[in-house]
């Protein structure tokens, strides 16, 4: 957190958070900075550290839940070269209002549209009370750090309703993945995945060639494994 080369601890406790760093005199972790929401109606949860604004410096990102306004979103304490500071006015970005009906499972930052500083967040939700909502789903949000706003772009990247009931889909995928790995051990042949071979990732393809002892030129093989030639294509959009 403070760029001193030693790991620190950030703890969320409802409406406030604490940073602990190693105190060499006390020889223990010691709180050095505190973050307050300013209201018992505003709760914090699920803190993570990663670069969310595209400046190659890690930031502190966590979810807020405002019970008085029935809103949910993320808060960003941006990182500087000197470290991450719990400033009084961090960046706050609201997400969809109906997320108050979900229990947060987690979120990740991924890059889809290749626009520096406009990362897409994958937001996982799970139903807790409302019967007319799916049990779970994935949503994608395009974040704008100039206006501190978000746009739900899920439909642009998922086929119709394939982002719903994602918990059962993931469980099914894991089961099938384990079956394939078990089969691979039985026939003494490691399973290679189509999406990985057509990922355009040079290191994955080179590892595939080395693993199977294939005397093939990478550049020639890549002509056949170019992502633009794969069967499942997604139409890109400009955001």
pLDDT tens-place values along the chain, 239 residues long: 777 777 778 788 787 777 788 878 888 887 777 777 777 888 888 888 888 887 888 888 888 888 888 888 888 888 888 778 777 678 888 888 777 777 766 787 777 666 655 567 777 777 666 667 777 788 888 888 888 888 888 888 777 777 777 666 555 555 555 666 666 666 667 777 777 788 888 888 888 888 888 888 888 888 888 887 766 555 544 44
Nearest to 46 by CA among 5, 132, 120, 105: 105
DSSP string, 27-60: TEEEEEEEEE-SSTTEEEEEEEEE--SSSSS-EE
Q: Is 235 helix (H, G, I), strand (E, B) or coil?
A: coil
Are 51 and 57 in contact, with CB atoms under 8 Å apart?
yes
Per-domain boundaries in the chain: 9-158, 170-229
Are 84 and 64 in contact, with CB atoms under 8 Å apart?
no
Q: Is 123 helix (H, G, I), strand (E, B) or coil?
A: strand
> What does pTM read for this prediction?
0.61
Q: Which two tokens stand for residue 65?
A: 């839940």
Are 68 and 84 in contact, with CB atoms under 8 Å apart?
no
| Residue 47 burial (10 A CB sphere; 0-12, 13-18, 19+) | middle
């Amino acid at each position: 957190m403070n760029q001193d080369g030693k790991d620190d601890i950030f703890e969320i406790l409802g409406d406030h958070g604490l940073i602990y760093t190693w105190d060499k005199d006390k020889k223990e972790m010691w709180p050095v900075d505190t973050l307050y929401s300013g209201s018992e109606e505003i709760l914090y949860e699920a803190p993570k550290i990663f670069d969310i604004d595209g400046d190659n410096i890690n930031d502190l990102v966590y979810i807020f839940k405002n019970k008085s306004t029935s809103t949910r979103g993320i808060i960003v304490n941006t990182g500087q070269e000197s470290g991450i500071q719990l400033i009084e006015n961090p960046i706050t970005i609201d997400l969809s209002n109906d997320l108050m009906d979900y229990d947060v499972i987690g979120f990740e930052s991924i890059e889809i549209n290749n626009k520096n500083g406009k990362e897409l967040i994958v937001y996982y939700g799970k139903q807790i009370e409302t019967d007319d909502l799916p049990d779970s789903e994935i949503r994608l949000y395009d974040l704008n750090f100039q206006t501190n706003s978000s746009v739900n772009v899920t439909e642009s990247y998922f086929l119709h309703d394939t982002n719903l009931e994602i918990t059962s889909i993931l469980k099914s995928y894991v089961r099938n993945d384990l079956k394939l790995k078990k089969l691979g051990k039985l026939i003494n042949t490691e399973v290679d995945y189509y999406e990985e071979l057509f990922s355009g990732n040079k290191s994955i393809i080179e590892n595939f060639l080395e693993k199977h002892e294939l005397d093939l030129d990478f550049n020639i093989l890549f002509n056949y494994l170019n992502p633009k030639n794969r069967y499942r294509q997604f139409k890109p959009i400009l955001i």
